[in-house]
Amino acid sequence: MIHLDALPKGDSAVISKFSGMDATIRRLREIGFYEGGRVRLKAKMFFWGPIVVEVGALSVALRRVEAHCILVTKDSEK
């Protein structure tokens, strides 16, 4: 299990669990992250900017600190 912000660019994974502040986790759920959901890391913005993640059919940009609250299992680990 790794944090979403550590996922290499282009890799897919499944969300295992969340860890972090309640408010952050709530926002993550609202925007469409949930346990069991599939994610793919599309890109990391320059200068330590946000990362772009594909969740379902949708692209979401989020900060690395927020992505750090999402723990994922890489497809290869299953």
Diameter of the chain by CA atoms? 32
Site of tokens 């990391």: 44
> In terms of CB distance, is 50 or 74 closer to another protein?
50
E strands, 1-78, where? 2-3, 12-18, 38-44, 51-55, 58-62, 70-74
- Which residues between 12 and 51 bind another protein (CB under 8 A)? 14, 22-32, 34-38, 42-43, 45, 47-50
- The number of residues that bind another protein (CB under 8 A) is 35
Residues that bind another protein (CB under 8 A): 14, 22-32, 34-38, 42-43, 45, 47-50, 52, 55-63, 66
